[in-house]
Amino acid sequence: MKIFLDTANIDEIRKAKGLGVLDGVTTNPTLISKEAHRGTFKEIVREILDEVPGPVSLEVTSLRYEEMVRQAEELSSLGKNVVIKVPLTSDGLRVIKTLNEKGIRTNATLVFSSNQGLLAAKAGATYVSPFVGRLDDIGEYGMRVVEDLKTIFTNYGFKTEIIVASVRHPIHVYEASLIGAHIVTMPYQVLERMLQHPKTDEGIQRFMEDWKKVRQ
């Protein structure tokens, strides 16, 4: 399973890369806005693109077909590892088809049902991003959509990959890995929590204390 970081913070990206587990990054307008103090949009994005070895999702900000296509072409010109995030609306679906025909990779975002994911895959999306945490928030079981999409894509041989998004805690990552999701994108804090276990800390403390008793 690939691990993406859901952030635009270059320090978090560098730390995750240093751990040796970073496969890509997803961003959105909200995440970019939090880094506005670092420079212009293009300066922030170029720094990320230079640092990340894999795909970097950048989101269009229009909801109109023609404008989304124009923005997508402009964004894709920033680097070879750019993937265009497109919201799954009727215009968004048309954009995904158009960009696929132009050889531009896409990430269908704000997916909340298996039907939406199926349509995105049919239109040629490179990735679909079901938002599991937001579904959990309203009393639905978000990971069920991931399960369904994995089955649907396997049934029909779709090459579209599933990015489990809106990840809130390590259990989401655990469940996604059992289902066989291709990718999980997470905040850096979730990645940190995946490393932590009180028994690991307890074991290290005991070993260090015992080592002090050994004559050197």
Question: Active-site residues: which are they?
Answer: 85
Q: Which two tokens stand for residue 142?
A: 């978000």
In terms of C-beta density within 10 A (0-12 exposed, 13-18 middle, 19 or more buried), how is residue 77 classed? exposed
Say which residues have a Cβ less than 8 Å from residue 181's Cβ, sequence separation at least 6.
1, 146, 150, 162, 163, 164
CA distance 26 to 207: 39
Residue 83 backbone class (left: φ over 0; alpha: ψ -120 to 50; beta: rest) = beta
* HEC profile of 107-136: EEEEECCHHHHHHHHHHCCCEEEEEHHHHH
Say which residues have a Cβ less than 8 Å from residue 17's Cβ, sequence separation at least 6.
51, 52, 53
Q: Indicate the length of the chain as a whole number.
A: 216
